Chains A and B, each alone.
Chain A
Amino acid sequence: MVAITMAGALNRALHDAMDEDDRVVIFGEDVAELGGVFRVTDKLVERFGTDRCFDTPLAEAGIVGTAIGMAMYGYRPVVEIQFDGFSYPAFEQITSHLAKMPNRSRGTVRLPVVVRIPFGGGIGAVEHHSESPEALYAHTAGLKIVTPSTPSDAYALLRASITSPDPVLFFEPKRRYWAKEDVELPVETEAIGQAVVRRAGTTATLISYGPTVATCLEAAAAAAEEGWDLQVIDVRSLVPLDIDTLVAAVGATGRAIVVHEASVFGGIGAEIAAELLERAFYLLEAPVLRVGGFDIPYPASRLEHYHLPDVDRILDAVERSLAY
């Protein structure tokens, strides 16, 4: 067993995918010599050459739009958007074509493209580098939306995303890039679309994904001191959403709190809460609560800790849930 970081696991996944399939090509801004600003594509150009890993001009619509064209040719592009807030220039290519062309073509055109997007805050960055835009994309039919919370999942889910026949937006929780796990890679890949129980518990269920799964686990550890036994679920795939696992988990505790960094209004938490109400109404002891960022533009870095859900905000919500 060796301790491996999430960035390292992602790098290994890209490496292994390129090794296995010549059609996998990587491109984006600064992904070649530099290895990406987070080093996720480190040394891939050395290993696979400039045909398989190359820097593009600085243009996100161009990156995603040409990835679509290359996929139509027969490649399997894995492209990097440098930061969450810079996925917006590519919004049209993602939502109007990447998401829709397979359906438009009655399945005759498949777009096996992975768009990797480092997302979320907590790294003290300047504006546009800390956003959580997953709900914008999850609302667009035709995309799969995946986000890992551990190094081994980062490996397994990225490998699964690259072999997926459908386009995948792969959201990487950038403040967890350097979190380590003792794991031997490669791990088995798992199908996209399965939530996982990260911590068993009976008092209430915390449902989260990406960067806030670790926060929920911290909250659960703190709660244990208070005598609360919190269950933690990692959703992992926002689209498709594994609602069955969520219903089963919440059925056992009767209480659910959805936690994410993104603003709560119209967010993934709202979707999960609505699904749980529709499917598990009689199993619930309390309304499903949401804990997230406020409905404000992402704040300046010295204020971001007021915005981001932390252990206290999560435990306050547990307390509110238990009060019912």
Chain B
Amino acid sequence: MSQLTVARRRAISTTESPWIQAVLIAIALVFIALFLVLPLAAVFAEALRKGLGAYWLALLEPDAWAAIRLTLLTAVVAVPLNLVFGVAAAWAIAKYEFRGKSFLTTLIDLPFSVSPIVAGLIYVLVFGAQGWFGPWLAEKNIKIIFAVPGIILATIFVTFPFIARELIPLMQSQGSEEEQAAIVLGASGWQTFWRVTLPNIKWGLIYGVILCNARAMGEFGAVSVVSGHIRGQTNTMPLHVEILYNEYQSVAAFAVASLLALLALVTLAIKTWVEWRHAAEMRELSQLPPERPMNTVPIAQ
């Protein structure tokens, strides 16, 4: 058999005929166009239906600004807290062996499978007027539910696992040889973390942070339960969209929604960029000349 026929048979055996390929690609693209592209396009089309003037006017409204500020504040508090937790949890789970580790990992994932409404409700049961700390908080005149702290707490809950679950598998796959080497060479724990671990996990970290941020800014259900919907005070952007929409202020609702859609597009762009950068770094690493085998001195005494 000539080389050409071998190559052709190989191709035939592991792929489909061109027209089947074309049909499958067409079905996939139509599905994506209908379910993903069209809703995205509808947001901008509805927002700009009465022209750019009406669009700007809707965005410059004081209540819209208050909602934007509250959304930014929520993300600025919730994301760093979950970032610190994510790094701590990944360090504990990836670098050590201990009993109940897989159970702990499951518990960390739990907020992903709890309905956002249930997430909001549990904080009402703890901090609400009828809740555990309700009377005590009322006495001290501290408002958590139907106020900003409740919104931040509910947001922290729904975005809780994002960074941890990005970092745990990453740090597990990297092992801890490099950190052990740094410690043996005399670095302190913090030096090891900043100089060795952090550069190794930076792409996973950015990835987790932007996904966490997108969810934190966009969360609706959980925040809706604890917010109280006071205009200009406890309305985040998604809640503001709901109020405007229910008042039939369609253009204004879609104008604020278009900002959130832009946030989603920026998130996707950064996410894709991170994936490309990471893949490029992996390629560069694989093209380096192979290292000489290290002296296998046992690290433990």
Q: Do A and B bind each other?
A: no
Task: Please give the residue numbers on chain B whose beta carbons come within 8 Å of chain A beta carbons, in ascending order.
Answer: none
